Each structure stands twice: as structure tokens, then as C-alpha cells.
A and B are shown apart, each in its own frame.
Chain A
Amino acid sequence: MNALLAELDTLLLYLFAVGAAGGSVLMIVLRAPMHVATALISTMVFLGGIYGLLGVHFIAAFQVLIYVGAVMVFMVYVIMLLEVRAVARSPFSRLLLPGAAIGALLMMLLALLLWHGGRSAAALPGSDQIFTVEAFARIFLSEYWLHFELTSLLLLAAAVAAIAVIKAPHPGEDHHG
């Protein structure tokens, strides 16, 4: 039974990996920003699945919650707000060819590094070795409590900054205090 589950795990991993890769490729190929957003969302969800298969279930949950639920939703709002229409021009900038070439080069180099680079022999945990929320919370609030506080500070700063940016006076408008 366990062997079968292990096989399923590997199969699912490959599936999710292919899915994530496909989503990424689609992202940079599709024309309309809305389609691109959708591709990204799918990539992120697949990524969440991969996290789950690695045993960090709550990280997977956070991925979907924060990234998809907050970040991508915000992006979709903005896309719709700005009423982007499909443009007749090419969606690619002048640097398409050089960019693609460099990208390919980079990918090859990284793959080479992967094959020839040294790394530790430790094994990856499977989906059954779960890193519980309890353990995480314990660490987060005892050893890394400072970081916890700092995150709240960061979020406060972000909120304030966002408001300030929106309220900043821009040319052609009256300045209301």
C-alpha cells in the first residue's frame, strides 16, 4: 500500500510540475493580461500542490490564501479597473529575440549547474512526513518572535504607504490636504 501511495505521490508530483511549467510558459506567451493572470493563478495553485506533496501543508495553504487569494485577486482587480483592451500591436517588446536567447542560455547554464553541482545527499521528505502547524507556530512565536512583530510592522508600513501613494497630489488636480 505504501509503495502504491509513494508511486501516486511521484506521479502527482510530476503532474503538478508539468502543470506549473506549462502555466509559466503560457504566461509569457498569451496576449491578453487577463489570460496571463489566469495562467499565473493556475501556476500558483500547482505550486501549492507541490508544497503539499513535500509535507508542508500549511505553507501550501498560505500559498493559495495569500498569493492566489490576495495578490492575484488584487492584480485581477487592477486589470479590470484599467480596462485593458486587446491591442493590435504585438504583446512583445523590441527585446524579444535577445531576451529569449539570453533566457535559453541562462536555462542551459542552470541545468548544467544542476547536473554537475555538488549537493547534499539528504532525501526529500514525502507527503507523509508532515511539518505540523503546531510545530511551526511554536517556533514562530518563541524563537522567531521578533520576526513576527516585524512582519506586522511591515504590513502597517505597506498599508500606510499605499494610502499615501494614492493620496499624493498629481499634476492637474487640486491639492486637498
Chain B
Amino acid sequence: MRLTLIALAPLAGFLLNGLLGQRLGKTFVSVVGCALPLAAFALTLAAVVELESRGAPIVEVVYTWAVIGGVEFEIAFYFDRLTAVMALVVTGVGSLIHIYSTGYMHEDRSYARYFAYLNLFLFFMLVLVLGRSLLVKFVGWEGVGLASYLLIGFWFQDEDKAAAGKKAFIVNRIGDAGFLLGMFLLYTLTGTLDVDRINAAFAEPTPQMLALASTAGVLLFIGACGKSAQIPLHVWLPDAMAGPTPVSALIHAATMVTAGVYLVARLSGLYDSAPAASAVVAGVGVATALLAATIAVVQTDIKKVLAYSTVSQLGLMFVAAGVGAYAVAIFHVVTHAFFKACLFLGAGSVIHALSGEQDVRKMGGLARRIPITFVTFAVATAAIAGIPPLAGFYSKDAILWYSFASSAGGSTVLWALASATALLTSFYMFRLLWLTFFGRSRMSAEVEHHVHESPLSMTGVLAPLALLSAIGGFIAVPQFLGAQWPLPAILEARAPFYWPLIGLAVAIGFGGLALAAFFYAGDGARAARVQERFGALHRLLSAKYYVDEFYERTLHQPLLWLSDRVFLGLGDRRLLDGSLDGLAAFAVRVAGQLGRIQTGNLQLYLLLAMIGLVGALAWGLRHV
């Protein structure tokens, strides 16, 4: 029962806040909205204890959903170490963000609705994580997409924000098509949708399974691309920053977007048997990582930088998963959750302090004004840049090592691209830190006057997250998962490069810091000059490689044309309306024609009567 309760606790929060919240006031909403996720966290901890004491995964069957042709589809929850790690992150970081939201969203009119949606998201995320069969996971998959849509477009009165929500949902849907197809294929291959059974089946695969494993892997990865914002379905994540900042922290940094990585790790058995699919995963991952990092370098909105950073980091996670180091990918998920959430919430704190300003060109000199925010933000920045001994260093370095040396797909090219990404990451994150907190103030006088530190509900969350970003690397996730997800073997020839590569990674981290300081310290004149020199490149990057415009031209316009001209114009108006109108017009015409009989002329009527008489007689004659 415990696993079900973990999922149901936030659902209860959704129902209570959604139905009664508006009426019962902010205190009620806050208490319910935060207590239930915390309860879920506590239950998850208890489940971990039970898991360890039992030594085997916990399976809970809730009920049988359907029996089709003798095959049973159940709603069941499955709890092993991987699930434990994900669930702890989801409920733990989730609870912290809920508490943060009580401060951030305090002035908002739709306070109850916000917490209702946030709890709803948590429920679906837990269903996704805990589900045993891909079908149940898909329910959670769709549900988090729905919650994401609701929360991105939370201030739906603004057209652009609502459009961003729609974009997220629609792009997700495209990925979901891949997920569904992959699910169907897997069912055909293995006869089951339960993830543990699928992995067991692929431990001893038949030739048929091997032949189609990569296809299934790629299809599922398309779904993961949609959810985790990889190329070509990455376009929704930057737009999703239209939602409230805690939402960006929870959904688009810590939990929902990592669902794709979780999926790949969950089906490790499949991907181990599908080298082609794994190669695709790693390739797309590293390409996305590099691309997003280049775009992040020129972004001027504080949240957009973090958004592209998330896309980039997710790419790195997929690189790890693509070379067989699933545990390392999950390790990075955990550390990323810590420092990215801290970064986003810190950004929220900055925005809150500056009364809504999000453009870094209008910030500066905030280090002394909002010290707590500054310190936590700086710690998280150092973590993501890979400065030892902070969390990010351990997980990112592991990724870089396995991208180089894994016997299941590691290559120099992969490592080089990933390292370039790491350098860019360090650079743009420290750039962000400098532009926001250092230098002379570029704020307007009005804004500068109101700068204030955030309330305790917000800073009280930033602190633990910063702490976790600092020491999180010592949580030995790969070792914890090592039993079931052994790290791939190291290529013999590459083993000696271990320590040199670590040194290089550290150098990259500090190198980025140095570069950022070089360009942006003082008045940032050097940066401005570079921008002028490489004007065309800067334009290309600012325009995000024109991907959105490309989609607009090739997909959006034709679809719009098709819907408007063909379906609306022809199908709906001509065919449906036309046929109905045509029938009506026909009836009117026939009636008009028939009406011509009534001329008022008596002789005509008589003639018609005679015709009838003749007819009757003729008919009577047949029976004579």
C-alpha cells in the first residue's frame, strides 16, 4: 500500500486545493500544498528502508486495468534502487520547491490553482517513476505533459504565455507518438509491458528481438527527446520560461525533463542489446549539448540562459546513457537537480528582488545587495561549471570519462565535443554570474530603490539546495546503483588517460571562469568588442539557429494552409455544409415546383382529379 500512498498524497493535495483552496484561504492552501509532498517524501524514505531490508524490488499491484484476450494489464508500482533515487529527488526537491513557492507566489491571485497544479504534477511524475508497466508510465508521461502545459500557461491571460504552454504540449505530443510506437513494438517483441520483465527478456534476446531492438530503442528515444528537449524537439523548453520560476525549477530542471533520461536508464536491458540505438542516443545528446551551450552564451534573459543550460546538461546525460553508463547519467540527474533547482530558484529570487526584471543587461552589482541569493547562486554556478569538489565536478567528470573510454560506444570525438560543451558551460554560467551580481549597477533607479533580499520561505530553500550542490557529489549514486546497472568496461587502450582527463576537466572548469572574468569584468567592453567583430555569428546564435523559424515555415504554415484551405474550405464548408445546404435548397426547389400546381384555376384541379380517376380505374382494371 505504501507505494500507492506515495503517489496518492499529492493527488489528494490537488483535489483539496483545486476544489476547496479558493474558498479556504492561502494558509490552508500553503499547508496542504506543502505538507502532502513532504508526506510523500517521508513515505519514499520509508520505502527505501524497506527496500534495503528486503534486498529485492518491491512490487505493488493496485488493480487490474483490463483483460484483453487473456492478457492482463495491471496498474502496478515497482520500487527498486533506480526508482528510489528518482523518487527521492522528485519528492525531496519537489517539496523544497513547494515551500519556496509559498513565498514567490504569495501575491498571486490564483494561489490555490497554482498549488493544485503543482501537486497534480507531482502525482503524475510519481506515477511515471513508480509505474511498473510502460502503459502506467505513459499515463504519468502524458500527465506531466498536461501539468506542464497548465503551469507554463499559468498566467493564461497573456497570449504569449498561453502560446508557450501550447507549444510545449504539442511538441511533447510529437514525441509521445514515438513513445507509443516504441511501446507497441516492445510489446510485440517481448509480450509484456512491465519494465522489469522487458529487461529480463533482453538479457537473453531472440534473433528477432535483436533485429528490432534498435528500432524500439530509437522510437522510445524520440519520446524522450520530446520530454527532455533534445534536438529536434527542444524548441519548447526556452519558451516554457514563460511560466512562474518555481515551475521552471521543478519541471524544467529537476524532474520532468529528466523523465527521458530515466526512461532510457530504466530500459537499460533494451539499450544494452541495441548498439545502434545507443549510438543515436549519444550522438543526439552530444549535438544538443553543444548546440544549446553555444546559444546560451549570447542569451540576455536570466531564465533563458538557464533553460538552454538545462537542454545542454540533458544532452550530456544522454551521452552517458548512450555509452552504457546509465548509473552515471542518473548521478548527473541527481546533481543537476540540486544545482539547477538552486540556480532557477536563485534567479527567481533575483527577479523578485528586482520587481520582475529578467534582462541581465539591466542588472549588475547585486552581490552586496542580496547576499544570500548571491552566495547560493555562486555555489550552484561553480557546481555546474565542474569546479571540484562540488557536486557537478563528480558527475560531469564521470560523463566525460565514460564518453572517452567506454567499451560500449566511447570515442575521442564524443569526448572532445562533450568537453567543448563543458568549457562553454563554465563560461556562460560565470558570464551570467558576473553580469548579474558584479560590476556597476545597470538597473533603473526605480528598480534599484526597491532591491531587497527575498523572504525566508525563499532563502530558506536556497540554502539547503546550495549545500546539496556542494556536497551532493559525495552521495555515491553510481555505486548505489552499481549492482543492477554495472558501469561499462573501460577500453584497455584508454585506461591510462584517467588522471590526465580529470586534470583537463578541472582546467576546463577554471578556464571558463577565467574567460568570463576576462570578458565581463569591469565594464564588459571587451565582450562588446567581440560581439561587434563576430556580428553575424552573434546574430545566428541569438536567433537560436533559426530553428523556430524553420519549423514555422516548413511545418506550421503548410499545416495551417491545409487546415484552412482543405479541411475548412473544402471539407467543412463545401462538403458538410454544402451537402446540408444543398439538401435544404433541393427541398425548397422541389416544394416550389410542386407549388406550381396550385394555380387557383378550378379547371386544372378538375383535370388533376380526372387523372387520378383514370389512374384508379386503370389500377382497378388489373384485377378484373
Contact = CB atoms under 8 A, between A and B. Distances in A.
B624 A113 contact: yes
Contacts of B610: 102-103, 106
B604 A95 contact: yes
Interface in B591-618: 603-604, 607, 610-611, 613-614, 617-618
Contact of A106 (B603, B613, B620): B613
B621 A112 contact: yes
A110 B618 CA distance: 9
Contact of A95 (B603, B613, B614, B624): B603
A93 interface: yes
A142 B385 CA distance: 132
B611 A93 contact: no
Nearest to A102: B610
A109 B614 contact: yes
A105 interface: yes
Given A93-B603, A95-B603, A102 B621 contact: no
A105 B610 CA distance: 10
Contact of B617 (A95, A99, A103, A113): A113
A105 B614 contact: yes
Contacts of A109: 614, 617-618, 621
B600 to A, nearest CB: 14
Given A106-B613, A106-B614, A113 B621 contact: yes
A92 B610 CA distance: 18
Interface in A112-138: 112-113, 116-117
A116 B621 contact: yes
Interface residues on B, range: 10 to 19
Interface residues of A, number: 14
Interface in A74-124: 93, 95, 98-99, 102-103, 105-106, 109-110, 112-113, 116-117
B426 to A, nearest CB: 103
B624 A117 contact: yes
A95 B604 CA distance: 7
A113 B617 CA distance: 8
A102 B610 CA distance: 7
Given A116-B624, A117-B624, A110 B607 contact: no
A60 to B, nearest CB: 30
Contacts of B617: 106, 109-110, 113
Q: Tell me the dominant secondary structure on chain A's binding face.
A: helix
A99 B607 contact: yes
A106 B624 CA distance: 17
A141 B20 CA distance: 98
A153 B624 CA distance: 42
A109 B610 CA distance: 12
Contacts of A106: 610, 613-614, 617
A109 B603 CA distance: 22
Contacts of A102: 607, 610-611, 614
A170 to B, nearest CB: 21
Interface string B313-337: 0000000000000000000000000
A95 B621 contact: no
Nearest to A106: B614
A106 B621 CA distance: 12
A103 B611 CA distance: 9
Contacts of B624: 113, 116-117
Contacts of B604: 95
Nearest to B618: A109
A39 to B, nearest CB: 20
A112 B622 CA distance: 11
Contacts of B613: 106
B598 to A, nearest CB: 15
Contact of B607 (A98, A116, A117): A98
A116 B618 CA distance: 13
Nearest to A98: B607
A49 B399 CA distance: 131
B596 to A, nearest CB: 14
A106 B613 CA distance: 8
A99 B603 CA distance: 9
A105 B620 CA distance: 14
Interface in B116-169: none
B599 to A, nearest CB: 10
Contacts of A117: 624
A86 to B, nearest CB: 21
Contacts of A112: 621
B325 to A, nearest CB: 98
A116 to B, nearest CB: 5
Interface in B529-553: none
Nearest to A105: B614
A112 to B, nearest CB: 6
Nearest to A112: B621
Nearest to B611: A102
A119 to B, nearest CB: 12
A93 B602 CA distance: 12
Contacts of A93: 603
A35 B613 CA distance: 30
A102 B611 CA distance: 7
A95 B37 CA distance: 93
Nearest to B617: A109
A92 to B, nearest CB: 10
Nearest to B610: A102
Contacts of B620: 113
Nearest to B613: A106
Contacts of A95: 603-604, 607
A112 B614 CA distance: 12
Nearest to A108: B614
B617 to A, nearest CB: 5
Contacts of B621: 109, 112-113, 116
A117 to B, nearest CB: 6
Contacts of B618: 109
A116 B613 CA distance: 18
A117 B620 CA distance: 10
A172 B614 CA distance: 45
A103 B624 CA distance: 22
B419 to A, nearest CB: 102
A96 B620 CA distance: 27
A95 B607 CA distance: 8
Residue from A93, A109, A110 having most chain B Cβ neighbours under 10 A: A109
B615 to A, nearest CB: 10
Contacts of B611: 102
Interface string B266-290: 0000000000000000000000000
Nearest 6 CB-CB pairs, A to B?
A109-B617, A116-B624, A102-B610, A106-B614, A105-B614, A95-B607
20 contacts: A95-B603, A95-B604, A98-B607, A99-B603, A99-B607, A102-B610, A102-B611, A102-B614, A103-B610, A105-B614, A106-B610, A106-B614, A106-B617, A109-B614, A109-B617, A113-B620, A113-B621, A113-B624, A116-B621, A117-B624
Interface of A: 93, 95, 98-99, 102-103, 105-106, 109-110, 112-113, 116-117
Given A95-B604, A95-B607, 12 more contacts: A93-B603, A102-B610, A105-B614, A106-B614, A106-B617, A109-B614, A109-B618, A112-B621, A113-B617, A113-B620, A113-B624, A117-B624
